[in-house]
A and B are shown apart, each in its own frame.
Chain A
Amino acid sequence: MTTTTTTPYRPSAPKRAQVWLANHFAMLSAILVLLYLFLPVAYTFAFSFNDHGKTNIVWQGFTWEHWQDPCGVAGVCGSLVTSLQVGAISTLVATVLGTLMALAMVRYRFRGKAASNVLIFVPMATPEIVMGAALLTIFVQGFSNIGLSLGFTTIVFAHIMFCLSFVVVTVKARIQSLDPRIEEAAQDLYASPMQTFWKVTFPLILPGIAGAAMLAFSLSFDDFIITNFVSGNESTFPKFVYVASRRGIPAEANVIGFSMFVLAVLLVVGAQLVSSVRASKIKE
């Protein structure tokens, strides 16, 4: 018996580098893009330690001062509280109304469905500035006659409106992925329509509803353009930052902005961990 040993084919070094690059091109560029995404966040973080004078544009020296008293600048914490309140109320209302709409759109057949689809889609295809302008004209020229003046309430009304479509789309996707036979099985097992919804449908679409609520909150919390039109003298956090940017954003705003970022990331990572622990339990 003879054995033939063959030397494995070994390409030249530049060729190998080329192959390696081709295999890892997507991942390498992805990492570069992620770095690009984080660059401004890093700047925001760094400049929260800037010992700045009047303007916080160029680096002038390190200080803990702004982290020790983030509310030290007039208005910054007030605007944050307003933003959190607006976000909470808009998210709650938009999520409830949007979920109901999504249920109607997926689970029912009715006249005017196509028109409803358009009504839900068009707000997402409308530039914010147009929505803001339209809301401003109606608030000033129409609703002020019934005692509604620009401020907290008008901000909330506007935010619910533009969050609604996004909630519908997100929840709709979740309901569509649900096997309708599971609901039929519940009915077959003596559950009334209400019991079917609360015992089966709702728990199964809950992750979609939670995702929609998170999306709604982040849209509301970060909105500036529409808020700027309908807020009157009320200030939200983005509006505070925008107004301040004319004369230099105080580092306290950087502290708050960065803290919100950390908080959100912790929340998301936490949720991920919980679900992966659950998943591994299922696999055991």
Chain B
Amino acid sequence: MSALAHVAGGDPDFDPSGPVPAPTKRSWTAYLLLLPGALWLGVFFVLPLVQLAAVSLQSRYPGFPGYYYRDVNFENYASALTDYAPHFARSFLYAGLATLLAFVVAYPLAYAMAFKAGKWRNLMMICVVAPFFTSFILRTFAWSQILADEGWVAGTLNFLHLLPGGNIINTPLAVVAGLTYNFLPFMVLPIYASLERADPRVIEAGGDLYANGFTTFRTVTLPMSMPGVLAGTLLTFIPAAGDFVNMELLGPQRGKMVGNVINDQFLAVPGGYPVAASLSFTLMAAILVMVFLYVRRFGTEELV
């Protein structure tokens, strides 16, 4: 997978007999440089996760909502998996659909930016990032206005009899639309970055060899941008699977996602901590497993 070599940080021209520059300095300086940041991540990322793990194993005092004691009780996980299985299923389904849609929407844009935009490239780049300087909640709320029953989108679709249920807002469709929109730049930018590094002449050569545009795309362009696609899909899927704001602002009253459950259990249900913690861990574990399998399948050694 030589196309991934530059992403993985490997140097294809590395000559073991030649000079070996860069990382040869004494290591204690490295620890000194690393220490403050690593400490911060340790105290505010690892430690909280450990605490969350402990909470997820706690038991409740029966009859005393809001009180629980230290325990090693896996029942919370059992109930997380049985009671909230549909929520998990919805989270992954909606996030998966949103990722797929974002890919379909983002690719032509990234492609145009990398190969067709010329001097407009920087302007297009600004246009991709700019909308995200308005607050994420404001934009999502704007979608609830755009997709509202009285709005022109629903109106047009209803007029064309393309909307069986009669409305978009407060349906899963609106949630997927919102998720697709909100994480789109995370898809566009990595794909653009890997396409930009690709040599357009290779694609032209592909065009020469295959003549057919789609075949060229499938056999030459897409594989070259694979590192970007991989990063983009992960950066879209992960936040989408854990999101609850789109469901809250655009989705139906019933049939929530796992993010909503975690949020409510933590902030609204007294004594909800243990179940919410086990839900959080299950979500994180599921995502890490999926990421691992996905990366194994489409392979790159290092994503960052």
Q: Is B241 in contact with A127, judged by CB distance below 8 angstroms?
A: yes
Residue contact B133 to A116, C-beta cutoff 8 Å: no
B184: A residues at CB distance < 8 A: 37
Complex CA–CA separation, A101 to B145 (angstroms): 44
CA–CA, A39 and B105, complex, Å: 15
Contacts of B276 in A (CB 8 A): 133
Interface of B is mostly: helix
Q: How far, in angstroms, from A100 to B295 measured CA to CA in the complex?
A: 28
How far apart sit A138 and B259, CA to CA, in the bound complex (Å)?
19
Would you call B142 and A40 a contact (CB within 8 A)?
Answer: yes
| Chain A positions within 8 Å of B143 at CB level | 40
On whether the beta carbons of B132 and A222 are closer than 8 Å, the reply is yes
Residues B109 and A34 in contact, CB atoms below 8 Å apart: yes
A161 contacts B45, C-beta separation under 8 Å: yes
- If A41-B131, A229-B267 touch, whether A123 touches B45 (CB-CB below 8 Å) is yes
The contact of B128 among A34, A184, A260, by CB within 8 Å, is A34
A38-B127, A119-B46, A257-B138 given; A104·B273 CB < 8 A: no
The reply to whether A134 and B48 form a contact with Cβ atoms under 8 Å apart is yes
**A241 engages B55 (CB within 8 Å):** no
Is A190 on the interface with B (CB-CB < 8 A)?
Answer: no
Contact check, B21 vs A181: say whether CB atoms are below 8 A apart. yes
Minimum Cβ distance to chain B for residue A242 (Å)? 5
Q: Which residues from 98 to 149 on chain B have a C-beta closer than 8 Å to any C-beta of chain A?
A: 105-106, 108-109, 111-113, 115-117, 122, 124, 126-146, 148
Smallest distance from the beta carbon of B102 to chain A beta carbons, Å?
A: 10
Q: Is there contact, CB below 8 Å, between A57 and B145?
A: yes
Which of B116, B148, B239, B303 is close to A27, meaning CB atoms less than 8 Å apart?
B116
**What CA separation (Å) do A254 and B141 show in the bound complex?**
11
Complex Cα distance, B24 from A107, in Å, reads 8
- Please tell me if the beta carbons of A40 and B291 are within 8 angstroms of each other in the complex: no
- Is A88 among interface residues, defined by CB-CB distance under 8 A? no
Count, chain B residues at interface, CB 8 A: 94
Answer yes or no: B280 CB below 8 A from chain A CBs. Answer: yes
A254 CB to closest chain B CB, in angstroms? 7
Given A39-B146, A242-B245, A261-B130, A164–B25 Cβ distance below 8 Å? no
CB B129 to nearest CB in A, in angstroms, measures 7
Docked CA distance A27–B135 (Å): 28
Judge whether A229 and B266 touch: CB under 8 Å: yes
- Cβ-defined partner of B134 (8 Å) among A41, A136, A137: A41
> Interface readout for B206-231 with A: 1 if CB under 8 Å, 0 if not?
00000001000000000000000000
Known pairs A40-B131, A260-B134; A161 contacts B245 (CB<8 A): no
Tell me if B40 counts as interface (CB < 8 A to partner A). yes
- Nearest Cβ in chain B — how far from A106, in angstroms? 7
B304 contact from A44, A124, A254, A261, Cβ within 8 A: A124
Asked if B162 lies at the interface with its beta carbon under 8 angstroms from chain A, I say no
Interface hit among A5-13, A63-71, A198-206, A262-270: A262-270
B280 touches A133 (CB 8 A): yes
Contact partners of B16 in chain A: CB under 8 A: none
What is the distance, in angstroms, from A17's C-beta to the closest C-beta of chain B?
Answer: 16
A261 to B115, CA, bound (A): 28
Contacts A43-B146, A44-B142 given; does A29 touch B108 at CB 8 Å:
yes
Q: Which of B276-301 contact A (CB under 8 A)?
A: 276-277, 280-281, 283-284, 287-288, 291
Residues of B within 8 A of A176 (CB): 9
Confirm or deny: A282 has a beta carbon within 8 angstroms of a beta carbon on chain B: no
Chain A residue contacts of B131, Cβ below 8 A:
37-38, 40-41, 261
Are B37 and A100 interface neighbours, CB within 8 A? yes
**Shortest beta-carbon distance, B277 to chain A, in Å?**
7
Indicate if A15 sits at the interface (CB-CB under 8 A): no
> A242 and B27 in contact (CB under 8 A), knowing A43-B142, A130-B280?
no
| Cβ of A160 under 8 Å from chain B | yes
Q: Which of A196-247 contact B (CB under 8 A)?
A: 218, 222, 224-225, 228-229, 237-238, 241-242, 245
Judge whether B97 is part of the interface by a CB distance below 8 angstroms.
Answer: no
Of A29, A136, A238, A258, which contacts B136 at CB under 8 A? Answer: A238
**Quick one: closest B residue to A269, CB to CB?**
B126
A86 at the interface (CB under 8 A from B): no
- B262 partner residues in chain A, CB cutoff 8 A: 129-130, 133
Contact B273 A241 (CB under 8 A): no
A window 105-153: CB within 8 A of B: 105-111, 116-117, 119-131, 133-138, 141-142
Q: Which residues of the partner chain B approach A26 to less than 8 Å between Cβ atoms?
A: 108, 111-112, 115-116
**Are the CB atoms of A123 and B283 closer together than 8 Å?**
no
Contact of A265 with B109 in the complex, beta carbons under 8 Å: no
Contacts of A263 in B (CB 8 A): 133
A47 within 8 A of B: yes
Query: In the complex, which residues 231-253 of chain B have their Cβ closer than 8 Å to any Cβ of chain A?
Result: 234-235, 238-239, 241-245, 249
- Which B residues from 139 to 167 make CB contacts under 8 A with A? 139-146, 148, 150
Which B positions have Cβ atoms within 8 angstroms of A?
A: 9, 21-27, 29-31, 33-34, 36-38, 40-42, 44-49, 51-52, 55, 105-106, 108-109, 111-113, 115-117, 122, 124, 126-146, 148, 150, 181, 184, 213, 234-235, 238-239, 241-245, 249, 259, 262-263, 266-267, 273, 276-277, 280-281, 283-284, 287-288, 291, 302-304
Q: Besides A38-B131, A138-B48, 12 other CB < 8 A contacts?
A: A40-B181, A104-B34, A106-B22, A106-B23, A119-B46, A124-B304, A131-B45, A218-B133, A225-B243, A238-B136, A245-B141, A260-B133
